[in-house]
Amino acid sequence: MAGSRTAIVTGAARGIGAAVAQRLAADGNAVAVLDLDEAACADTVAAIEAAGGRALAVGADVADEASVAAAVERIAAELGEPTILVNNAGILRDNLLFKMSVDDWDAVLNVHLRGAFLMARAVQKYMVDAKFGRIVNLSSTSALGNRGQANYSAAKAGMQGFTKTLAIELGKFGVTANAIAPGFIATEMTAATAARVGADFEDFKAAAAGQIPVARVGEPADIAHTASFFASEGAGFVSGQVIYVAGGPKD
């Protein structure tokens, strides 16, 4: 490992983001735990510090340009200039097309796509200066289409095109960009989805596992492991890729 770098993980208060933040810290990086509510980041920061790592809780709205700029400047000053970015922040506003409001469309596209753009744009200068950078964007198997998720599917497919373009533009500066497309991962978000459709979460997970070749649902640690690889020194010749971490082939 090439010593400690500074990583930013968005949406890191819980779920996949929290697991990725903890894994990157275990890998030896200082980690900025970024979420909309700074207080909500406390548990992730405490877990990292309890394991001997360095972390900073940062409250920011990734869809707001000024908020992102202030957050990245603070991270650079207090934790170190960031050269690893994981764009994980995301929300769900599921509905069938004819019932989907413009606000629900805009909210999802803003957090996922605009947020990833603003964060990557703010952090890239530190990566270019360091001649080292790792950008990891969270897509989803929903990028391939999913009933009731026109907004989310469009955002997650957009993350893949965004990733491939970043890889082309930034490669000559030692910066890679890759995407992870999770399948069914057991988190508060998928539990909320089960509740919304009136299903018991255990039954919901069992039904999902029945459709997955490895016969289980994913855990946040499965995504964190892949993010760790993409962020590593050894992944410098891997860029512009989308890995479906879904327990079987998806693309």
Average pLDDT by stretches of 10, the chain with 251 residues: 82 98 98 98 98 98 98 98 98 96 98 98 98 98 96 98 98 98 93 88 94 96 98 98 94 62
Report the domain count for the chain: 1
Q: Is residue 1 part of a domain?
A: no
CA 170 to the chain's CA centroid: 19
Domain with 15, as residue range(s), is 6-183+218-245
CATH label of the domain that carries residue 234? 3.40.50.720
- Residues 71 and 115: beta-carbon distance below 8 Å: no
The token pair at 153 is 């599917």
* Residue 39 CA neighbour count, 13 Å, CB half: 0
Q: Is residue 205 part of a domain?
A: no
- Residues 76 and 126: beta-carbon distance below 8 Å: yes
Q: Strand 30-35's sheet: what is its strand order?
A: 55-59, 30-35, 6-10, 82-87, 133-138, 175-182, 242-245
| Neighbour count for residue 7 (Cβ, 10 Å) | 30
Give the SS3 label for residue 36.
coil
At which residue do the structure tokens 């079987």 appear? 248
- Residues 135 and 178: beta-carbon distance below 8 Å: yes
Closest CA to 136 of 223, 42, 22: 223
The token pair at 164 is 């491939």
Q: Is residue 202 part of a domain?
A: no
Q: Is residue 18 part of a domain?
A: yes
Question: Which stretches does DSSP call E strand in 62-200?
Answer: 82-87, 133-138, 175-182
The token pair at 88 is 């994980």
- Residues 105 and 148: beta-carbon distance below 8 Å: no
The token pair at 180 is 């992870």
pTM, entire model: 0.96
**d(C-alpha 21, C-alpha 122), whole Å:** 19
Q: Is residue 46 part of a domain?
A: yes
Q: Is residue 56 part of a domain?
A: yes
At which residue do the structure tokens 């050894």 appear? 234
Residue 180 has what pLDDT? 98
Q: Is residue 105 part of a domain?
A: yes
Q: Is residue 212 part of a domain?
A: no
Residue 2 has what pLDDT? 45
Closest CA to 12 of 34, 29, 28: 34
The catalytic residues are 152
- Residues 75 and 8: beta-carbon distance below 8 Å: yes
- Residues 113 and 89: beta-carbon distance below 8 Å: no
